[in-house]
Amino acid sequence: MADAPNPTPVPGDVDLTETLKSLGARWGWFVALGVLMLVLGFVAGAYVLAATVASVLFVGAMMLVAGIGQLVQAWRVKDWRGFLFWTLGGLLYAIAGGVALYNPMAGAAVLTLLLGAFLIASGALRLWIWFQHRSQQGWGWLALSGAVTLLAGLLVAMGWPENSLWILGLLLSLDLLFQGITLVMLGLALRKGQPPASHA
Protein backbone atom coordinates (compact mmCIF):
# COMPACT_ATOMS: atom_id res chain seq x y z
CA MET A 1 0.00 0.00 0.00
CA ALA A 2 1.40 3.38 -1.00
CA ASP A 3 2.14 5.83 1.73
CA ALA A 4 -0.36 8.64 2.06
CA PRO A 5 1.07 11.96 0.90
CA ASN A 6 1.99 14.41 3.61
CA PRO A 7 -0.63 17.12 3.95
CA THR A 8 0.44 20.46 2.58
CA PRO A 9 0.77 22.97 5.42
CA VAL A 10 -1.69 25.82 5.30
CA PRO A 11 0.12 29.18 4.93
CA GLY A 12 -1.84 30.68 7.80
CA ASP A 13 -0.81 27.84 10.12
CA VAL A 14 2.84 28.28 9.17
CA ASP A 15 2.67 32.03 9.86
CA LEU A 16 1.00 31.41 13.22
CA THR A 17 3.63 28.85 14.21
CA GLU A 18 6.47 31.19 13.29
CA THR A 19 4.79 34.04 15.19
CA LEU A 20 4.42 31.89 18.31
CA LYS A 21 8.07 30.82 18.09
CA SER A 22 9.13 34.45 17.77
CA LEU A 23 6.99 35.47 20.74
CA GLY A 24 8.16 32.49 22.77
CA ALA A 25 11.76 33.63 22.44
CA ARG A 26 10.72 36.88 24.14
CA TRP A 27 8.61 35.40 26.93
CA GLY A 28 10.74 37.15 29.54
CA TRP A 29 9.67 40.58 28.28
CA PHE A 30 6.01 39.64 28.75
CA VAL A 31 6.68 38.52 32.32
CA ALA A 32 8.77 41.61 33.09
CA LEU A 33 6.10 43.95 31.73
CA GLY A 34 3.44 42.03 33.65
CA VAL A 35 5.38 42.35 36.90
CA LEU A 36 5.84 46.08 36.26
CA MET A 37 2.10 46.50 35.74
CA LEU A 38 1.39 44.53 38.92
CA VAL A 39 3.69 46.84 40.88
CA LEU A 40 2.04 49.92 39.36
CA GLY A 41 -1.37 48.43 40.12
CA PHE A 42 -0.49 47.94 43.79
CA VAL A 43 0.93 51.48 43.97
CA ALA A 44 -2.23 52.90 42.36
CA GLY A 45 -4.32 50.93 44.85
CA ALA A 46 -2.33 52.32 47.76
CA TYR A 47 -2.64 55.90 46.48
CA VAL A 48 -6.08 55.94 44.87
CA LEU A 49 -6.44 59.73 45.05
CA ALA A 50 -3.18 60.27 43.17
CA ALA A 51 -4.20 57.55 40.71
CA THR A 52 -7.55 59.28 40.19
CA VAL A 53 -5.81 62.58 39.46
CA ALA A 54 -3.43 60.82 37.06
CA SER A 55 -6.37 59.20 35.26
CA VAL A 56 -8.18 62.52 34.90
CA LEU A 57 -5.05 64.29 33.67
CA PHE A 58 -4.48 61.57 31.07
CA VAL A 59 -8.08 61.69 29.84
CA GLY A 60 -8.03 65.49 29.87
CA ALA A 61 -4.84 65.60 27.81
CA MET A 62 -6.28 63.15 25.27
CA MET A 63 -9.50 65.18 25.00
CA LEU A 64 -7.55 68.41 24.55
CA VAL A 65 -5.39 66.91 21.79
CA ALA A 66 -8.46 65.38 20.11
CA GLY A 67 -10.32 68.69 20.29
CA ILE A 68 -7.45 70.65 18.77
CA GLY A 69 -7.06 68.05 16.04
CA GLN A 70 -10.78 68.20 15.26
CA LEU A 71 -10.67 72.00 15.08
CA VAL A 72 -7.70 71.91 12.71
CA GLN A 73 -9.49 69.37 10.52
CA ALA A 74 -12.68 71.45 10.55
CA TRP A 75 -10.87 74.58 9.36
CA ARG A 76 -9.15 72.60 6.62
CA VAL A 77 -12.56 71.68 5.16
CA LYS A 78 -14.40 74.96 5.76
CA ASP A 79 -16.45 74.51 2.59
CA TRP A 80 -17.91 71.22 3.83
CA ARG A 81 -21.47 71.21 5.20
CA GLY A 82 -20.32 69.53 8.42
CA PHE A 83 -17.88 72.36 9.20
CA LEU A 84 -20.02 73.80 12.02
CA PHE A 85 -20.61 70.38 13.57
CA TRP A 86 -16.90 69.55 13.56
CA THR A 87 -16.03 72.98 14.97
CA LEU A 88 -18.51 72.72 17.85
CA GLY A 89 -17.41 69.16 18.60
CA GLY A 90 -13.77 70.19 18.64
CA LEU A 91 -14.49 73.15 20.91
CA LEU A 92 -16.40 70.96 23.37
CA TYR A 93 -13.60 68.39 23.44
CA ALA A 94 -10.91 71.04 23.88
CA ILE A 95 -12.83 72.91 26.60
CA ALA A 96 -13.63 69.70 28.50
CA GLY A 97 -9.99 68.61 28.29
CA GLY A 98 -8.79 72.02 29.44
CA VAL A 99 -11.18 72.00 32.41
CA ALA A 100 -10.03 68.50 33.40
CA LEU A 101 -6.39 69.61 33.29
CA TYR A 102 -7.09 72.85 35.17
CA ASN A 103 -9.28 71.25 37.86
CA PRO A 104 -8.73 67.46 38.05
CA MET A 105 -11.17 67.08 40.95
CA ALA A 106 -14.01 68.60 38.95
CA GLY A 107 -13.00 66.42 36.03
CA ALA A 108 -13.04 63.34 38.27
CA ALA A 109 -16.56 64.18 39.44
CA VAL A 110 -17.82 64.54 35.87
CA LEU A 111 -16.10 61.37 34.65
CA THR A 112 -17.41 59.39 37.63
CA LEU A 113 -20.96 60.57 36.94
CA LEU A 114 -20.60 59.65 33.27
CA LEU A 115 -19.24 56.25 34.29
CA GLY A 116 -22.28 55.62 36.49
CA ALA A 117 -24.65 56.69 33.70
CA PHE A 118 -22.86 54.44 31.21
CA LEU A 119 -23.03 51.42 33.52
CA ILE A 120 -26.74 51.99 34.20
CA ALA A 121 -27.51 52.35 30.49
CA SER A 122 -25.38 49.32 29.56
CA GLY A 123 -26.94 47.14 32.26
CA ALA A 124 -30.47 48.20 31.33
CA LEU A 125 -29.78 47.47 27.66
CA ARG A 126 -28.50 43.96 28.44
CA LEU A 127 -31.55 43.25 30.58
CA TRP A 128 -33.85 44.49 27.80
CA ILE A 129 -32.09 42.24 25.26
CA TRP A 130 -32.42 39.31 27.66
CA PHE A 131 -36.12 40.07 28.18
CA GLN A 132 -36.67 39.93 24.42
CA HIS A 133 -35.08 36.44 24.30
CA ARG A 134 -36.03 35.13 27.75
CA SER A 135 -37.88 32.13 26.28
CA GLN A 136 -34.66 30.84 24.68
CA GLN A 137 -31.96 28.90 26.46
CA GLY A 138 -28.50 30.29 27.14
CA TRP A 139 -29.52 33.91 27.74
CA GLY A 140 -29.46 33.73 31.54
CA TRP A 141 -25.83 34.85 31.70
CA LEU A 142 -26.73 38.02 29.82
CA ALA A 143 -29.40 38.77 32.43
CA LEU A 144 -26.90 38.21 35.24
CA SER A 145 -24.32 40.41 33.52
CA GLY A 146 -26.90 43.14 32.97
CA ALA A 147 -28.10 43.01 36.57
CA VAL A 148 -24.55 43.24 37.95
CA THR A 149 -23.66 46.11 35.60
CA LEU A 150 -26.88 47.96 36.45
CA LEU A 151 -26.26 47.50 40.17
CA ALA A 152 -22.68 48.76 39.81
CA GLY A 153 -23.93 51.85 37.98
CA LEU A 154 -26.53 52.54 40.65
CA LEU A 155 -23.91 52.21 43.40
CA VAL A 156 -21.63 54.64 41.56
CA ALA A 157 -24.48 57.11 41.09
CA MET A 158 -25.66 56.81 44.71
CA GLY A 159 -22.16 57.44 46.05
CA TRP A 160 -21.53 60.44 43.81
CA PRO A 161 -19.83 62.90 44.21
CA GLU A 162 -17.91 61.61 47.25
CA ASN A 163 -16.75 58.47 45.43
CA SER A 164 -15.27 60.55 42.60
CA LEU A 165 -12.17 60.99 44.79
CA TRP A 166 -11.24 57.32 44.62
CA ILE A 167 -13.31 55.30 42.15
CA LEU A 168 -11.32 56.19 39.00
CA GLY A 169 -8.07 55.44 40.81
CA LEU A 170 -9.48 52.11 41.98
CA LEU A 171 -10.51 51.20 38.44
CA LEU A 172 -7.05 52.14 37.17
CA SER A 173 -5.49 49.96 39.87
CA LEU A 174 -7.70 46.98 38.99
CA ASP A 175 -7.02 47.42 35.27
CA LEU A 176 -3.25 47.45 35.84
CA LEU A 177 -3.47 44.39 38.09
CA PHE A 178 -5.54 42.37 35.61
CA GLN A 179 -3.29 43.37 32.71
CA GLY A 180 -0.23 42.43 34.76
CA ILE A 181 -1.64 39.01 35.64
CA THR A 182 -2.59 38.41 32.00
CA LEU A 183 0.89 39.31 30.72
CA VAL A 184 2.65 37.16 33.33
CA MET A 185 0.46 34.15 32.53
CA LEU A 186 0.95 34.72 28.79
CA GLY A 187 4.72 34.92 29.20
CA LEU A 188 4.83 31.72 31.26
CA ALA A 189 2.63 29.95 28.70
CA LEU A 190 4.96 31.06 25.89
CA ARG A 191 7.93 29.80 27.90
CA LYS A 192 6.36 26.34 28.22
CA GLY A 193 5.94 26.22 24.46
CA GLN A 194 9.64 26.85 23.87
CA PRO A 195 11.76 23.88 22.74
CA PRO A 196 14.53 22.87 25.18
CA ALA A 197 17.85 24.60 24.58
CA SER A 198 20.44 22.43 22.86
CA HIS A 199 23.79 21.96 24.60
CA ALA A 200 26.98 21.80 22.61
* Tens-digit pLDDT profile for residues 55-89: 899 888 998 998 898 888 877 777 666 677 778 88
Q: What is the pLDDT of residue 115?
A: 87
Helix and strand element counts for the chain (H, E): 7, 0
Q: Provide CB contacts within 8 A for 102, sequence distance 6+.
A: none
42 in any annotated domain: yes
**Assigned domain for 16 exists:** no
Residue 124's pLDDT is 92
Q: So what's the pLDDT on residue 199? A: 44
Radius of gyration of the chain from Cα atoms? 24
**Residue 2 belongs to a domain:** no
Which pLDDT value is given to residue 35? 94
3-state secondary structure at position 28: helix
Q: Which residues, given as ranges, of the chain have pLDDT below 70?
A: 1-24, 79-82, 138, 193-200
Residue 13 sits at φ, ψ, to 5 deg, of -65, -40
Could you list the residue range(s) of the whole structural domain that residue 107 is in?
29-192
Domain-located, residue 167: yes
Does residue 145 lie in a domain region? yes
Would you say residue 160 lies in a domain?
Answer: yes
pLDDT at 3: 53
Spell out a b/e string for 159-171, using b for 16 or more CB atoms within 10 Å of the CB, else e: ebeebbbbbbbeb
Give the per-residue pLDDT at 43.
92
Number of domains making up the chain: 1
- What pLDDT does residue 18 have? 64
Residue 198 resides in a domain: no
Report yes or no: 124 and 111 within 8 Å, Cβ to Cβ: no
pTM of the full structure: 0.67
Q: 81 in a domain, yes or no? A: yes
